[in-house]
Amino acid sequence: MGNLVLGIIILLLTIGGWAWGWNYFKDKSEAEYKRLYSQYKADGKLERSEIQDLLANLPAALDRDLSLGALCYETISVTATERNYHYYVCPLCMMRTAYETKATNESEANRLNVLMNINEYRRLVKQVKGIDVKLDESQFCRHCSPGISNPHLLLVVNWENGSDIHKVEDITAEDLEILAEFVQGAVVHKGERDVESLLLDYSPRLKRLLGFPVEAPDEKTAR
């Protein structure tokens, strides 16, 4: 009986030790990750392979607690608008395209949301430094894209000097935020009111945005 208990204890210690050792060697700490990032970013840009390696090494835990956000409550004021049209001004040809400010379905609502926040998207994409990304707004301009009835905003990722171009549509402001944070070497995403979450949790989305294969389904695709 005594031998059996001793045997079980030794077995548990062995498994525990193995699991601890495995985690110890598998996960990079925040400091180790930052060192890897600095090494890759030393030449000012991030190669495709470096980005993939960084994605694979995002820390799963920090040596501190994540911030739960500042305790302030902002009141969102909604300004009533009398206008029935929102005018999109194309940055390429400077022509205006009118969009009705009334959405009758989800895709129209999404489109309006993009149009209303286009300046924020333009500002955010400039924060994505070190890799070659840009917004393609051209579908919103009826002069640049005649015949497009359901325009989308595209994020264009240019790898290997244009030999590998990845386009993704229906991006959100949060997409651009996590991308900017990731290429700046951050390991946490700062959301609204500075609520923090691990960037690792966003790695499937980051892979999708960057055009890398995603191993497991990361999103609910059921409609």
Q: Which of 30, 41, 67, 90 binds Zn ion (CB under 5 A)?
A: 90
96 binds Zn ion (CB under 5 A): no
143 binds Zn ion (CB under 5 A): yes
Burial code (b: 16+ CB inside 10 Å, e: under 16) for 91-124 equals eeeeeebebeeeeeeeeeeebbebbeebeebeeb
User: How many residues contact Zn ion, by CB under 5 A?
Assistant: 6
Among positions 24-63, residues that touch Zn ion (CB under 5 A) are none
Strands in 143-221 per DSSP E: 154-159, 164-169, 188-190, 196-198
Six-digit token string for 162: 């244009």
141 binds Zn ion (CB under 5 A): yes
Measured in whole angstroms, how far is the alpha carbon of residue 138 from the centre of its chain? 22
DSSP state of 202: G
Give the interface segment with Zn ion, choosing from 77-85, 123-131, 144-152, 205-213 (CB under 5 A). Answer: 144-152
The values of phi and psi at residue 77, to 5°, are -95, 130
For residues 89 and 116, which CB has a smaller minimum distance to Zn ion in the complex? 89
Give the interface segment with Zn ion, choosing from 82-90, 113-121, 154-162, 207-215 (CB under 5 A). Answer: 82-90
Beta bridge partners of 133: 157
The values of phi and psi at residue 198, to 5°, are -65, 135
- To Zn ion, the closest distance from the beta carbon of 102 in angstroms equals 24
Name the helix (H) or strand (E) containing 133.
strand 132-136
Give the interface segment with Zn ion, choosing from 20-28, 126-134, 143-151, 160-168 (CB under 5 A). Answer: 143-151
12 binds Zn ion (CB under 5 A): no
93 binds Zn ion (CB under 5 A): yes
Give the interface segment with Zn ion, choosing from 6-14, 139-147, 151-159, 180-188 (CB under 5 A). Answer: 139-147
In the complex, which residues of this chain contact Zn ion (CB under 5 A)?
90, 92-93, 141, 143-144
